[in-house]
Amino acid sequence: MDWPTGQDVNRQPRALLSVLLIGAIAFVGWRYWTSTRPDPEEGTEIRVSESSTRGGTLRSSLRSEPKSFNRFVERSVPTDIYSLFTGSKLIRVNRATQEIEAELAERWTTSPDNLTYTLTLRDGVTWSDGTPFTSADVVFSFQAIYDPKVGSQLASSLMIDGKPLVVTAPDPKTVVIKLPQTFGPGVAIFDNVHLAAKHKYEAALKAGKFGEALGVQTPPADLVSIGPFKLTTYTPGQRLIFDRNPRYWKKDATGIQLPYLDQVILEIVPDQNAELVRLQAGQLDMLQQQVRSEDIATLRPLEQQGKLKLIELGVSADPDLFFFNLRSPYWAKDPRRDWITRKEFRQAISHAIDREAFANTVFLGAGVPVWGPMTPGNPKWFSPNVPRYGYSVERAKEILAGLGLRNRDADPWLEDPKGTEARFTLIAYRGNSSVERGSAIIRDELKPLGIAVDVVLLEQGALIERLQTGDFEAINFIQNWTNLDPAMSPDFWLSSGSAHIWNIGQSKPATDWEKEIDDLMGIVMRSVDQAERKKAFDDIQKIFAEHLPVLYFVTPRLYMGVSTRVGGLTPSILRPQLLWNVERMTVKQGQ
């Protein structure tokens, strides 16, 4: 899973709701390439579609600064985009179709017991500095992932039953990977593997400094790429410029070397109001993430003028989420410990939130109420049959009273028997409109119950640091799935996981219900029987919905805004919805 980037609040009148709900625009299919092989003569125009040519520059926004270029230790969206632009996978899961695709491993075999995969690497692949890519790089990358001194964010997603994969390289073109147990999604697990150049970073790993490698202070000339682009310029607070990697290994079906674009510029625009203005003015070709619900009506005229495409992708798989710190040591000396970590307290909060009103206020009606981390946007794994603590202020009050929380004085707030006020601090992303408005709704809906919520807005980096160190009471933010199969995100579901946000990295399950989820996730991860996997995950969703370690209220409908000069789009409901396949995007020349 990834942490997201932010967006600014734009509080437009709720009268927009009537405008936003006037029909949906369906995107009329993706563009395909109809060209022949290129003329090898330098400077010859290569046409890859009826309206697009190879070359040109794409400009997109980026809503926050990268904290690092090292995807091994940093999981934010800017770092993920850097990795997508400059990296390649052994085997890739297509984010639009969820199909398996051969990448640096051109073929593979599977042992009869489904425990050993033998991968054959492509010939002639090099890093951007000309150094050959070999199986030694793969072995080195796994060493970095599992090295405890690195503290890699990737490690827990590449463990099965808490055990690492065993990786060997009998020759430069062959990688043998042995799994400790069978893995339900099979070779899809290798989509979680990010690769690092051994010749560049072996010394750093041996010195215990790999986690510090690829920092944002690294000169772009010292960074190597095995992806479609290479970073050539990073100006903090302004932009990142990626130029085409001339040594990129991939070609399209007609033999044209990818990527089609010469350059991609990511303009750092934390303020989404400013981002919107740039898109309207044609200074950006697209937004990094979805268009806010309140901005859809603003962009309709540009669509009618043929300058912009508004692409509806459907229901998001990434709802906003709200959760408490459930690390016992954090509350050890806090007088609120007897009730603030109880599931009943969280159930009362769920009863207090009107999800329909939440959808109308936060997403101007362009949202769907949800009751857990799986949404209808992921129909293969979504289960509607989970406990629901629906809107009922009276039921919420009954639960709170059962916890001993009553109004014992003249102020508006509940107190426990010791006189401790029912109050907590909720931190949220500054500059993310849905999160900011959602946090205000949580505060306002809990106030009539006698619960005081102090909302504090933080910059993304500060919030993530507080999350990772456990220095918070409650958080409201967004977490991004990178794959729709839950077995590919064990870092969230397993109690030992690095993205188990309410209580990260437990040495053993802190609760019986987390132990039960761990056991069921073992089935989801190990079984090769899809029906058995689905049943186990349905049970996980029921347990999750009962105990509510994370509360979910509404998931938005996704719209992307893209200039009509951009082609080669392969939209996905997973972030980044368009840039994930940037190697095949094109732009019309002369516009």
The enclosing domain of 36 has a CATH number of 3.40.190.10
Domain range for 257:
16-64+227-315+558-587
Same domain, 175 and 113: yes
Q: How far apart are CA 4 and CA 244, in angstroms?
A: 26
Residue 386, in any domain of the structure: no
197-205 contacts at long range (C-beta below 8 A, 24 or more positions apart): 197/127, 197/131, 197/137, 197/224, 197/226, 198/136, 198/137, 198/140, 199/127, 199/131, 200/127, 200/224, 201/140, 201/144, 202/140, 205/140, 205/143, 205/144, 205/147, 205/150
How many C-beta atoms lie closer than 10 Å to residue 409's C-beta? 9
Q: Are residues 60 and 145 in the same domain?
A: no
- Assigned domain for 56 exists: yes
Distance set, CA 101 to CA 61, 105, 248, 352, 498 (Å): 28, 9, 17, 45, 27
Q: What is the pTM of this model?
A: 0.86
Q: Do residues 160 and 297 both lie within one domain?
A: no
Q: Are residues 29 and 162 in the same domain?
A: no
CATH code, domain carrying 96? 3.90.76.10
- Same domain (yes/no): 328, 297: no
Across 156-271, the runs of DSSP E, i.e. the strands, are: 159-160, 163-164, 166-171, 174-178, 229-235, 239-244, 263-268
Give the closest residue to 127 by CA, choosing from 114, 140, 115: 140
Of 163, 182, 210, which residue constitutes the final position of a domain? 210
> Residue 153: inside a domain, yes or no?
yes
Report d(CA 287, CA 284) in Å as an integer. 7
Q: Does 333 share its domain with 434?
A: yes
Q: Do both 523 and 400 map to the same domain?
A: yes
Number of Cβ atoms within 10 Å of the Cβ of 30:
13
239 in the same domain as 97:
no
**162 located within any domain:** yes
Pair 237, 204 in one domain: no
Residue from 362, 369, 357, 364 nearest 393 by CA: 357
Q: Are 291 and 256 contained in the same domain?
A: yes
CB atoms under 10 Å from CB of 420, counted, come to 17
Structure tokens at 61: 């926004």
Long-range contacts of 233-239 (CB under 8 A, 24+ apart): 236/65, 237/65, 237/268, 238/267, 238/268, 239/62, 239/265, 239/266, 239/267, 239/268
pLDDT tens digit sequence for 226-284: 999 999 999 999 999 999 999 999 999 999 999 999 999 999 998 888 999 999 999 99
Tell me the pLDDT of the chain (591 aa) as tens digits.
655 543 333 333 333 333 333 333 333 333 333 333 333 333 334 556 545 578 999 999 998 899 999 999 998 889 999 999 999 999 999 999 999 999 999 999 999 999 999 999 999 999 999 999 999 999 999 999 999 999 999 999 999 989 999 999 999 999 999 999 999 999 999 999 999 999 999 999 999 999 999 999 999 999 999 999 999 999 999 999 999 999 999 999 999 999 999 999 999 998 888 999 999 999 999 998 899 999 999 999 999 999 999 999 999 999 999 999 999 999 999 999 999 999 999 999 999 999 999 999 999 999 999 999 999 999 999 999 999 999 999 999 999 999 999 999 989 999 999 999 999 999 998 888 889 999 999 999 999 999 999 999 998 888 989 999 999 999 999 888 989 999 999 999 999 999 999 999 999 999 999 999 999 999 999 999 999 999 999 999 999 999 999 999 999 999 999 999 999 999 999 989 999 999 999 999 776
Residues 536 and 571 in one domain: no
Tell whether 187 is covered by a domain. yes
Q: What is the CATH number of the domain that holds 428?
A: 3.10.105.10
Same domain, 400 and 473: yes
Which residue stretches of 318-389 are H helix?
Answer: 328-331, 337-340, 343-352, 355-362
Q: Count up the domains in the chain and report the number.
A: 3
Q: Are strands 91-93 and 100-102 parallel, antiparallel or unpaired?
A: antiparallel
Instruction: Report yes or no on 460 lying in a domain.
Output: yes
User: Is residue 233 included in any domain, yes or no?
Assistant: yes
Q: Is residue 305 part of a domain?
A: yes
